[in-house]
Amino acid sequence: MGSKKVAIIGVSAVLLVAIVATVAVTITSSHSEAASSSSHQLSASAKNIQDFCQPTDYKQTCVQTLSAAAGNKTNLEDLVNLAFNVTIAHIDDAFKHSTVLSKAAKDPRTSEALRNCRELLDYAIDDLKNSLDRIGDFSIAKLDKLLGDLKVWLSATVTYQETCLDGFEGANTDSAESMRKALNVSSKLTSNILAIISSFGETIADLNLSFGRKLLSMEFPSWIAPGQRRLLRLRLANLKPHITVAKDGSGDVRTISEAVNRIPKKSKSTFIIHIKEGVYRENIHVNKSFINVMMIGDGPTKTKITGSLNYIDGTPTFKTATLAVVGDGFIGKDLWIENSAGPKKHQAVALRVQSDKSVFYNCRFDGYQDTLYAHTKRQFYRECTISGTIDFIFGDAASVFQNCLILARKPLDNQKNIVTAQGRKDRRQPSAIVLHNCTIAADPAFFPYRKKLPTFLGRPWKEYSRALIMQSHLDDLIDPKGWLPWVGEFGLRTCFYAEVNNRGPGAGKSERVKWRGVKKINNAHASNKYTVDRIIQGSAWLPKTGVPFIPGLLPEGSL
């Protein structure tokens, strides 16, 4: 590392440029020479773009799109901004293309898939714009946190585009192929930005720059005021809900939907909704404008929100959720969320979450196939019960389930149970499903059938699927092979599946599958990458919620 490059680092406005420079880019001094010829300037500009695109997997796409749009602006700060804006423009073009296709769509599944694409691509554009805004507010103190946030948001952008395409299952194949072509370039460009941002973090490690961690651990999250830092530890009697829902008329409103409609947009303080005991037959959507929302029930056996939307009856998986949470900073406590469609209705989601830094504490989620859709961003589940059959914890969030009870239910006689189906498409996405200090067991109704109908820990939904089972109790329902293929050899070499210090009759690994993607990792590896502190940066934001959590691995003697 040259001293000249290191010396550049100092002023926050220049820091971004310095980091990119240390990764792959060397800005030539020829731009400052007044006598430079136009051909030399062109050559230097082309080299700057080539170097900028070096960390990416789709270099040709990176170079071509930036060269076409850059003009004479090829310094690093310009290229970073340009990379985001070019990607936004391509996703916006795909958004418009879906609108054109929808006018010609004749079957309901295709129309719904295209409608969902527009919603998902809108989320993708929002996250890219938010990321670009944060880069504009770049500072040394925020560097460590900023890079983590950017990777999470860019990962979500990758996932939203993939979810758009997933929605065409059972729909018109021509429309599906047309959308795939429309998203081809934008998907590559999003992957390229994620690669460049990821290379920033590698450079920080190389330079041994770890500023900001102590400062960041003292900050309050934007979605929780200092006076509410122990919100989840307060008893209901001590909380002051902004609105109370009660079916019997004893509250402010009778339905949860009415309460959601009263949530203020972009609130900087936590908006508390108390949902009193009762069964609420509703499908609830907490949209992206409703941030910092807390829903608290009277207990996971008392306050029940139930729905039955499902794939077989014509609703795409993405829209089947009984409760869908999009707005960041959501807290759910003492709730029972159910999709009652049953095993014959196939995909039927109880909870879908894409809320960043969301928490679910002492909740219950019941369904069969696809019960809990941990879609995107950072999520933490503590002391929750999740039941289901096929892929019943799935998605592409960075999600940690800690001290949870995972119950396999009785599937159809021709089906197998699979606990996880993680959807990581890009190898640089910081996402995974992590089960830590959980118990995986048979639901009482399934217990007599647990040997006849096998249960597996997971299968690779997407190419770089990643799931870890750590320090958990695995009962005797777990098939000795442990993991199940998706189809053929897909993902078996590129997935990342690991079991770390588990216990119980289903924890033996002597007969586990021998795929390249099934890894043997030690405690140090797990501690450094896959704990609450590491994969969701929990120690920087969970303490202020009051939710109990284990930041790292448990001491071996405590298991």
List active site positions. 391
- How many other C-beta atoms lie within 10 A of the C-beta of residue 6? 13
Structure letter (DSSP) for residue 103: H
How deeply is 102 buried, as exposed, middle or buried, from its count of CB atoms within 10 A (0-12, 13-18, 19+)? middle
Q: Is 494 helix (H, G, I), strand (E, B) or coil?
A: coil
Select from 394, 406, 344, 338 the least CA-distant residue to 367: 338
Select from 327, 384, 335 the least CA-distant residue to 356: 327
Select from 104, 107, 102 the least CA-distant residue to 118: 102
**What are the tokens at 518?**
């099934």
Select from 381, 418, 298 the least CA-distant residue to 547: 381
**What are the tokens at 102?**
């929808």
Q: Is 1 helix (H, G, I), strand (E, B) or coil?
A: coil
In the numeric block, the tokens 């997407």 are attached to 462
What's the CA gap between 432 and 400, in Å, rounded? 8
Angle between helix 38-52 and helix 76-104 axes, rounded to 10 deg? 70
Q: Is 25 helix (H, G, I), strand (E, B) or coil?
A: coil
Phi/psi of residue 391, nearest 5 degrees: 50, 45
